[in-house]
Chain A
Amino acid sequence: MTLSVRNLTFAYRKTPVLTDVSFNAAPGELLAILGPNGVGKTTLFRCILGEQKRYLGTIAVDGENMRGFSARETAHRIAYIPQTHAMTFRFSVRDTVLMGTTHMLSTTASPGRTQERIAEEALEKLGILHLKDRSFDTLSGGEQQLTYVARALAQQAKILLMDEPTSSLDYGNQLKVLSVVKGLAAEGYTVLLSTHNPQHALRYADRVLALLDGRVSAFGPAKEVLTPALLESLYGTRAELYDTPGGPVILPAADQTKERAKQP
Chain B
Amino acid sequence: MNTVGGRKRRTSVLLLSAALLFVLFFVSLTFGRYSVPLSGVAKILWHRLWTLTGLDRVLPMTVSWTEAMEKTVISIRLPRILTACLVGCSLSAAGAVFQGVFRNPMASPDILGASSGAAFGAALAILLGVSTQFITIFAFISSILTVALVFLIAQRAPGQRTVNLILAGIMVGSLFSAGTSYLKLVADPGNQLPAITYWLMGSLSGVRLSSILPVAIPMAAGIVPLLLLRWRLNLLSLGESEARALGVNTDLLRAVLILCATLITAASISVSGVIGWVGLVIPHLCRKLIGSDNRGLLPCSMLVGASFLLLVDDVSRNLLATEIPIGILTAVIGAPFFIWLLLRKEKTL
Binding site for B on A (CB under 8 A): 46, 49-51, 70-72, 74-76, 78-80, 82, 87-92, 94-95, 99-100, 102-103, 105, 107-111, 116, 120, 132-135, 138, 155
Check: B265 CB closer than 8 A to any chain A CB. Answer: no
Binding site for A on B (CB under 8 A): 2-3, 5-6, 100, 103-105, 225, 228-232, 234-235, 237-238, 240-242, 244-250, 287, 291-293, 295, 348-349
CA of A87 to CA of B293, assembled, Å: 13
Which chain B residues border A107 with CB–CB below 8 Å? 229, 232
Q: A90-B291, A138-B348 are in contact. Are A103 and B246 (CB under 8 A)?
A: yes
Looking across the interface, which residue of chain A has its beta carbon closest to that of B5? A133
Which chain B residues border A87 with CB–CB below 8 Å? 238
Pick the most buried of A70, A79, A107, A134: most chain B CB atoms within 10 A of its CB: A107
Inter-subunit contact B105/A51 (CB<8 Å):
no
- Cβ contact of A132, chosen from B2, B242, B292, cutoff 8 A: B2
**Smallest Cβ distance from A120 to chain B, in angstroms?**
7
Inter-subunit contact B249/A72 (CB<8 Å):
yes
Q: A89-B292, A94-B3, A132-B2 are in contact. Are A75 and B247 (CB under 8 A)?
A: yes
Inter-subunit contact A75/B292 (CB<8 Å):
no
**Smallest Cβ distance from A160 to chain B, in angstroms?**
11
CA of A79 to CA of B100, assembled, Å: 23
Which chain A residues border B3 with CB–CB below 8 Å? 94, 116, 120, 132
Which chain A residues border B287 with CB–CB below 8 Å? 89-90
**Smallest Cβ distance from B186 to chain A, in angstroms?**
43
Give 26 A-B contacts (CB < 8 Å), ordered by A residue: A46-B241, A71-B249, A72-B247, A72-B248, A74-B245, A75-B245, A75-B246, A79-B245, A88-B105, A89-B100, A89-B103, A90-B287, A90-B349, A91-B291, A92-B291, A94-B6, A95-B293, A102-B246, A109-B231, A110-B295, A116-B3, A132-B2, A132-B3, A133-B5, A134-B348, A135-B348
CA of A75 to CA of B238, assembled, Å: 16
Inter-subunit contact B244/A88 (CB<8 Å):
no
Top 7 closest pairs, chain A to chain B, by CB = A103-B247, A75-B247, A89-B292, A80-B245, A108-B228, A110-B231, A72-B247
Looking across the interface, which residue of chain B has its beta carbon closest to that of A81? B245
**Smallest Cβ distance from B13 to chain A, in angstroms?**
15
CA of A74 to CA of B6, assembled, Å: 31
Inter-subunit contact A100/B244 (CB<8 Å):
no
Which chain B residues border A133 with CB–CB below 8 Å? 2, 5-6, 349
Q: A108-B228, A110-B231, A133-B5 are in contact. Are A90 and B292 (CB under 8 A)?
A: yes
- Cβ contact of A91, chosen from B5, B232, B245, B293, cutoff 8 A: B293
Inter-subunit contact B2/A99 (CB<8 Å):
no
**Smallest Cβ distance from A140 to chain B, in angstroms?**
15
Pick the most buried of B235, B237, B242: most chain A CB atoms within 10 A of its CB: B242
Which chain B residues border A138 with CB–CB below 8 Å? 348
Inter-subunit contact B246/A155 (CB<8 Å):
yes
Inter-subunit contact A88/B248 (CB<8 Å):
no
Which chain B residues border A120 with CB–CB below 8 Å? 3
**Smallest Cβ distance from A69 to chain B, in angstroms?**
10
Inter-subunit contact A88/B237 (CB<8 Å):
yes
Q: A94-B3, A111-B231, A120-B3 are in contact. Are A70 and B249 (CB under 8 A)?
A: yes
Q: A99-B238, A102-B235 are in contact. Are A92 and B249 (CB under 8 A)?
A: no
Looking across the interface, which residue of chain B has its beta carbon closest to that of A136? B349
Inter-subunit contact A51/B5 (CB<8 Å):
no
Inter-subunit contact A51/B244 (CB<8 Å):
yes
Looking across the interface, which residue of chain B has its beta carbon closest to that of A119? B3
**Seed contacts A132-B2, A135-B349; 16 additional CB < 8 Å A-B pairs:** A51-B245, A70-B249, A72-B247, A75-B245, A80-B246, A82-B241, A82-B242, A88-B105, A90-B287, A91-B292, A92-B6, A92-B293, A103-B247, A107-B229, A133-B5, A134-B348
Inter-subunit contact B228/A49 (CB<8 Å):
no
**Smallest Cβ distance from B293 to chain A, in angstroms?**
5
Inter-subunit contact A100/B237 (CB<8 Å):
no
Which chain B residues border A89 with CB–CB below 8 Å? 100, 103, 105, 237, 287, 292
CA of A227 to CA of B55, assembled, Å: 91
Inter-subunit contact A51/B241 (CB<8 Å):
yes
Which chain B residues border A99 with CB–CB below 8 Å? 234-235, 238, 246
Which chain A residues border B292 with CB–CB below 8 Å? 89-91
CA of A50 to CA of B241, assembled, Å: 10
CA of A78 to CA of B246, assembled, Å: 9
CA of A105 to CA of B228, assembled, Å: 12
**Smallest Cβ distance from B226 to chain A, in angstroms?**
11
**Smallest Cβ distance from B135 to chain A, in angstroms?**
36
CA of A111 to CA of B295, assembled, Å: 10
Which chain A residues border B103 with CB–CB below 8 Å? 88-89
- Cβ contact of B246, chosen from A88, A100, A134, cutoff 8 A: A100
CA of A108 to CA of B224, assembled, Å: 10
Inter-subunit contact A71/B348 (CB<8 Å):
no
**Smallest Cβ distance from A65 to chain B, in angstroms?**
19
**Smallest Cβ distance from B263 to chain A, in angstroms?**
17
Pick the most buried of B2, B5, B229, B231: most chain A CB atoms within 10 A of its CB: B231
**Smallest Cβ distance from A68 to chain B, in angstroms?**
14
**Smallest Cβ distance from B241 to chain A, in angstroms?**
6
Which chain B residues border A70 with CB–CB below 8 Å? 249
CA of A75 to CA of B232, assembled, Å: 14
